[in-house]
Amino acid sequence: MALKPAEFKTDVHNDWCPGCGDFGIVNAIQMALAEMGVQRDKTAIFSGIGCSGKTSHYINTYGVHTLHGRVLTFAQGAKIANPEMTIVAVGGDGDGLGIGAGHFVAAGRRNVNMTYIVFDNGVYGLTKGQASPTLKLGEKTKSLPSPNTNYNVNPIGLAVASGFTFVARGYSYDVRHLKDLIIKAVKHKGLSFLDVLQPCPTYNDINTRDWYAGKDLMEEAQSRHSRIYKLEDTGYDPEVHYSEEAEVNERLTQALIKSLEWGNKIPIGVFYKNELITPYTQRLKDKIPNYFENPPAKQSISKDGKSITDISKILDSMEV
Amino acid sequence: MMSTDFTWLIGGPQGSGVESGANIFSKVCAEMGYQVFGKREFYSNIKGEHSYFAVRVSDQNIHSNVNDVTLMASFDAETIFRHFNEVSPGGGIIYDSDLDGVDTTNVHTLDAPFKERLHSFLESKNKPFTIVGALEIAKEKGITLYPVSFKKLLENLSEEVDNPKLRGLVRMYNVLAVSMSLGIVKMPSNSLLHSIEQIFSKKPQIAEINKQAANYSYNYATAKFDGFNYELTGTQKQPKTILVQGFHGTALGKMACGCRFQPYYPITPASDESVFLESNEILENLDHRPGSTAVIQTEDEISAMGMTIGAALTGTRSATCTSGPGFALMTEALGWAGINEVPIVITNYQRSGPSTGLPTRHGQDDLLFSVYAGHGDFPKIVYASGDVEESFYDTGNCFNYAEVFQVPLIHLMDKFIASSVVTCKRFDSQKITINRGKLLDQVDDNYRRFEFTEDGISPRSRLGIDNGIFWNTGDESDETGHITEDPVLRVKMMDKRMSRLDFILKNIPESEQVVSFGIEDYTIISWGSAKGPILDAIDMLKKEGISIGFVQIKLLHPFPGDYVKSLLSNAKTIIDVEANHSGQLGKLFKQNVQRDIDYFILKYTGRAMTSTEVYDSLKKIIENKADKREILTHGA
């Protein structure tokens, strides 16, 4: 049953800068959760550190504001222990692709059934605008003393290469489209990654709202998001339909090629989707037959304060 | 009748079956009623470097190794060079007679500093730097030599059983050496064959070959080698005895007390515990509904810690298991668990630091690090077990403490315990009580996770229960868990959390905080695995009419200063025994008991203490001949 987005709002004062792209993302998350009608107390938002880290406090579900770079580790632990939770992890691009890059790659390999949204703005906002992993080499945002000396990471490409089974990109000022992407991501069976282009009005004076809107381009007639176009409008099919090598490779390759598009044409939408790879929880079920009915969080471990686990067979084998 | 106290040592290159040889020997002795205390020493290496197993066997209760070896079983040259001088007069050495001509330069795994010491020793005895030279010294000490050509033995066996595959099967040397040892000490052969059957129960063909070899070698020894000074013919078996490896205590404790989630990153000597948990991931329950432990191998220890916390937030009893370097990576998240009052258990099988240190060697190096781990002030518990049997029951207690007090808990174990093989009383999981503290199954409206309460502990919701929504943050928070920077609230929250330390001291029974083995004029304080060598050394002194007291401190943080102080009020001389350089317990003791340590007995070679060397140092202290810092060095 669809709920109202307002039910997913808290009354915590939001201290993001006026015009911050984060507002669009938090609104889209609330709208998506409402539209899906998820139960608030079966849902948890896990967040990293930075401006985006505060997201969990603004959403009226369970909220776990974790550590810089480590959000995926906390979130995966919770999901594996209690697979009936709907879990959305969020964090900045510095959080997920800088300090947390190792966890990002490992999470892809694991494919735990949950969603990870990266607020991608090219800068470390809360520490006053240093270059973050997605800022391009040689670019100088306004508080950098000199142009960026590092090459940028390609979040979509890295996600695809790491084994994420749903890889998409959204734009924080196209909230409806983003909301739809979030719904698809949450419904996906496996680990879904959503790279959200999110202008930082305070520190990123290059990839601004106007820049995404293409106001600097020479053409006369400009549409509202003229740099940005939607993959689905081009007939792009992201989905792996059958698990043959040729099919999988073709979808992976096209996603990688699309991920390299930047500059005057920036694709958003679903780049890659593969539900033929088993989620981690399913892999656990293959080893532990009653994992879904009796996961770690639901197991009874005691009766009247006494252990109910019977380890006598193991002890028998050790007895001399 | 004289009591039995026998030490058997087997050595060889890593990968040559030293460990399985020792397992067979230990199992046979345990089956024949003896108490067994064995420990394994090995390099950070997969194949080729020297490893050895020293198994002490007795008809009395034993808790440690001793310096002297009674019978050494070797099948390579390095074992002889490294250990011949540990064999006591009257003891024996089984060795490969084909190695007679080998000199030290032929053994490329002998490292330079050791070789230098060996050469100067052989030189001082006017012996050549050869196996013959080393064995001559042994012989002059009154040690019986048992030369045997393992090659020829296998050839003969292969002919006798008409199995050409056995020829040159170097992998069988371990079984030959074990069986020969058992023949020499007159252990009944049926127990040997039975143990091999059990150990190789899943590989019947291998069991058969091994039994043939064992039988042959055993008979060879009984026919050829008679009259050894020592016999192991069996003794009265203690009922309900198990033979366990060191890590089994915490692993089985975790299963029994309901730990259902354990992420980990591979590290020596901790991983064995996680691998064992995963090998037994499906659990039988008395309610007939199978349970399970989700054991997750993570990308690093940071992830292991994050996952442990994430799972704990769902109300699952969660733990991770690591060693010093891994624990170092976990400390940022440890503080997160602290400020968010998340109960988790970190089992730290310590090894020698700093940094990678001696990665496969023993050390009680992480006490102060554990006490101070993490930035900022937050409550935690540091608890240490003294042996395998204790660690089973302590693991149950540790989860109770973590949940009742809502704190992260560091359970200190170490490499000495991890790689020991011992007999002990069968664990009784019915003695494990489970107390989940203020964990909620259902929640009323207006729930606040960090609500101020009289005892400073708030009811704990968990992810996924109706009305139980809460927020966590690594920032300072208000009662709901939302960020605050308000100075007044900050003080209230800090005070709430830190009041936990006194609360813990008041609520953990004193008998679980500290174990007193008696207070005397001279009283030892110690913690962790030093307990075993201390108990045995005290026994040795008691036989000479000397009484030494001993206080084992298990709760190390918060430190039970007042209680320890009152316990020790009649002790005149305090001796701190532990396996690290700086006397870390001594520092905590001084800080919390406001009393100086009179003597330290310390060991930081990376090898476990023996009771012999603890005894020697205690004796020196009593005779007023000791240094303030007695430094122990025994062991290859």
State which residue of chain B sits closest to A109, comparing Cα positions. B299
**Chain A to chain B Cβ contacts (< 8 Å):** 246
How far is B38 from B178, CA to CA, in rounded Å?
A: 15
Give the mean model confidence (pLDDT) for residues A13-31. 97
Nearest of B591, B635, B592 to residue B612 by alpha carbon: B635
Domain chopping of chain A, boundaries: 5-284
Nearest by CB to A80, from B296, B423, B435: name it: B296
Q: What does the pLDDT look like over B497-547, one tens digit per residue?
A: 999 999 999 999 999 999 999 999 999 999 999 999 999 999 999 999 999
State which residue of chain B sits closest to A79, comparing Cα positions. B311
Measure CA of the first residue to CA of the last residue in chain A; give whole Å. Answer: 61
Q: Confirm if A123 and A152 have CB atoms less than 8 A apart.
A: no
Specify the pLDDT at position B555. 98
Q: Confirm if A217 and A228 have CB atoms less than 8 A apart.
A: no
pLDDT at A286 over 60: yes
Chain A contact set for B280 (CB, 8 A): 314
Specify the pLDDT at position A196. 98
What is the least distance, in Å, from the CA of A16 to any CA of chain B?
Answer: 14
DSSP B499: T
CB contact under 8 A, B261 and A64: no
What torsion do the CA atoms of A77, A83, A84, A87 make, to the nearest 10 degrees?
Answer: 40
Domains in chain B (CATH in brackets) are 5-224 (3.40.920.10), 244-431 (3.40.50.970), 438-508 (no CATH), 512-632 (3.40.50.920)
Specify the pLDDT at position A222. 54
Buried b (16+ CB within 10 A) or exposed e, B367-398: bbbbbebbeeebbbbbbbbbbbbbbbbbbbbb
Specify the pLDDT at position B1. 55
Cβ contacts of A246 within 8 Å, gap of 6 or more:
none
The reported pTM is 0.97
Specify the pLDDT at position B85. 97
CB contact under 8 A, B464 and A54: no
Nearest of A24, A109, A33 to residue A280 by alpha carbon: A109
What is the least distance, in Å, from the CA of B105 to any CA of chain A?
Answer: 43
A215 band by pLDDT with thresholds 50, 70 and 90: confident
Nearest by CB to B463, from A60, A82, A102: name it: A82
CB contact under 8 A, B31 and A320: yes
Specify the pLDDT at position B167. 86
Evaluate the omega torsion of the peptide bond into residue B354 and state whether it is cis, within 30 degrees of 0.
yes
Nearest of A109, A232, A241, A102 to residue A169 by alpha carbon: A232
Phi and psi dihedrals of A239, rounded to 5? Answer: -90, 135
Specify the pLDDT at position B605. 98
Chain A contact set for B304 (CB, 8 A): 73
Chain A contact set for B34 (CB, 8 A): none
CB contact under 8 A, A302 and B258: yes
Q: In CATH, what class is A5-284?
A: alpha beta
State which residue of chain A sits closest to B34, comparing Cα positions. A320
CB contact under 8 A, A310 and B308: no
Write out residues in chain B with pLDDT < 70, as ranges.
1
Chain A contact set for B299 (CB, 8 A): 102-103, 105-106
CB contact under 8 A, B475 and A65: yes
Specify the pLDDT at position B602. 98
In order, the DSSP letters of chain A are ----GGGGB--PPP-SPTT-THHHHHHHHHHHHHHHT--GGGEEEEE-SSGGGGHHHHBSSEEEE--TT-HHHHHHHHHHH-TTSEEEEEEEHHIIIIITHHHHHHHHHHT-SSEEEEEE-SEETTTT-EE-TTSPTT---TT-SS---SPPP-HHHHHHHHT-SEEEEEETT-HHHHHHHHHHHHHSSS-EEEEEE---TTT-SSS-HHHHHTTTS--SS--TTTTEEEGGGGT---B--S--HHHHHHHHHHHHHHHT--SS-EEEEEEEE--SSPPHHHHHHHHSTTTTTS-GGG---EETTEE-EE-HHHHHHHB-
How many alpha carbons fall within 13 Å on the CB side of residue B222?
Answer: 14
Nearest by CB to A78, from B293, B433, B463: name it: B463
Q: What is the mean pLDDT of chain A?
A: 96
How far is B382 from B402, CA to CA, in rounded Å?
A: 10
State which residue of chain A sits closest to B256, comparing Cα positions. A309
Nearest by CB to B463, from A44, A72, A310: name it: A44
CB contact under 8 A, B285 and A84: no
Chain A contact set for B318 (CB, 8 A): 77, 81, 296
Nearest by CB to A314, from B252, B310, B332: name it: B252
CB contact under 8 A, B248 and A311: no
Percent of chain A at pLDDT above 90?
95
Specify the pLDDT at position B318. 98
What is the least distance, in Å, from the CA of A178 to any CA of chain B?
Answer: 25
Specify the pLDDT at position A225. 56
How far is B580 from B583, CA to CA, in rounded Å?
A: 6
CB contact under 8 A, A64 and B313: yes
| Sign of the C-alpha dihedral computed for residues B56, B528, B552 and B383 taken in this order | negative
Give the mean model confidence (pLDDT) for residues A253-277. 97
pLDDT at A218 over 80: no
Specify the pLDDT at position B132. 96
CB contact under 8 A, B426 and A284: no
Specify the pLDDT at position A217. 83
What is the least distance, in Å, from the CA of A19 to any CA of chain B?
Answer: 22
CB contact under 8 A, A309 and B315: no
